[in-house]
Amino acid sequence: MIPATHYLILSVTLFSIGILGVLIRRNILLILLSIELMLNAANLNLIAGSAMHGRLDGQLSAFFVMVVAAAEVTIGLAIAVLLFRQKNSVDTHEIKELKG
């Protein structure tokens, strides 16, 4: 079997790439995509933990994360579509209403 640490390293790598995407991309939709990437990196970690302990609880947690992610995507995309309708752009530099 592959050592558990390799799964953790893969998971942290994907999570870091996700953080990079959230922070440096300017397109809101790509920021949302990077969030999906981070959620799935965390899922990989949960499932590796499940295999490490020989129990199914980690897999169920990953399942619940997936459900929550689906709900998050619905609302996130609805907000992105509204923003696009209002501003005609999905660039974060054009969206300044929340700036203090």
Residue 70 engages another protein in binding (rule: CB under 8 A): yes
CA neighbours closer than 13 Å in the CB half-sphere of residue 59: 7
Closest CB 97 distance from another protein, rounded Å: 15
Residue (84 or 98) nearer to another protein, CB = 84
Site for another protein in 2-41 (CB under 8 A): 2-10, 12-21, 23-27, 29-30, 32-34, 36-37, 40
CA 58 from chain center: how many Å?
A: 18
Q: Does 87 bind another protein (CB under 8 A)?
A: no
Rounded alpha-carbon distances, angstroms, from residue 93 to 25, 96, 97, 99: 11, 7, 11, 11
